[in-house]
Amino acid sequence: MQQKYFFFNQQKYGEANSFYDKALELDSDHLQSLFGKGQYFRLIENYDAIEWYDKGIKIKRNHINSIWGKGECLRMQDNFRKAIMYFDKALKYHPKHFLSLQEKEKRSGCLNIIMMLLLNINKHLNYNLIILKDYLVMEKYQNQ
């Protein structure tokens, strides 16, 4: 099984994936291989990865790596709110899980910036509407 890690570290994902397939033929519930398949698909940006992470979570609901992996896939699909939910879930089981902390911080910060920008846009839009209203009222009285 160590050979699959070698292939992954060498970015030979196809070779690593074939080892995961062989392991899953012997034991369809082999948690590390289910996670490995998820990693394989995530790294080639194929979001079938979520299925594999879900299989791992089904076997062990607090499998941190599968929970994080699913969150990471959701992040890659720009589903930030749902991704943060999975990072939070991973942190519930392992409060110092570095990858979940890192991604949650990045996404939370981005969401806060977006919310501030939206509020700022809304504030300026309201201000512009007030100016437009005042202008129209002024025009109405000038034309009378």
Top pLDDT among 131 and 104 is at: 104
Mean per-residue pLDDT, 9-29: 83
DSSP result, 45-105: T-TTHHHHHHHHHHH-TT-HHHHHHHHHHHHHTT-HHHHHHHHHHHHHH-TT-HHHHHHHH
Instruction: Find where tokens 């012997």 sit.
Output: 26
Band of the pLDDT at 31, cuts 50, 70, 90?
very high
Digit-coded pLDDT (tens) for 60-109: 999 999 999 999 999 899 898 898 899 889 889 887 777 776 776 665 55
* Ordered domains of the chain (ranges, CATH): 2-109 (1.25.40.10)
Q: How confident is the model at residue 15 (pLDDT cuts 50, 70, 90)?
A: confident
Confirm if 67 and 35 have CB atoms less than 8 A apart. no
Mean of pLDDT values over 46-70? 96
Q: How far is Cα 43 from Cα 109, in angstroms, rounded to an integer?
A: 24
Q: Which residues of 4-40 are buried (b: 16+ CB within 10 A; e: fewer)?
A: beebbeeeebeebbebbeebbeeeeebbebbbbbbbb
Question: What pLDDT band is residue 122 in, cutting at 50, 70 and 90?
Answer: low
Of 7-11, 24-28, 43-47, 127-131, least confident by mean pLDDT is 7-11
Q: Categorize the per-residue pLDDT at 118 as very low, low, confident or very high, splitting at 50, 70 and 90.
A: low
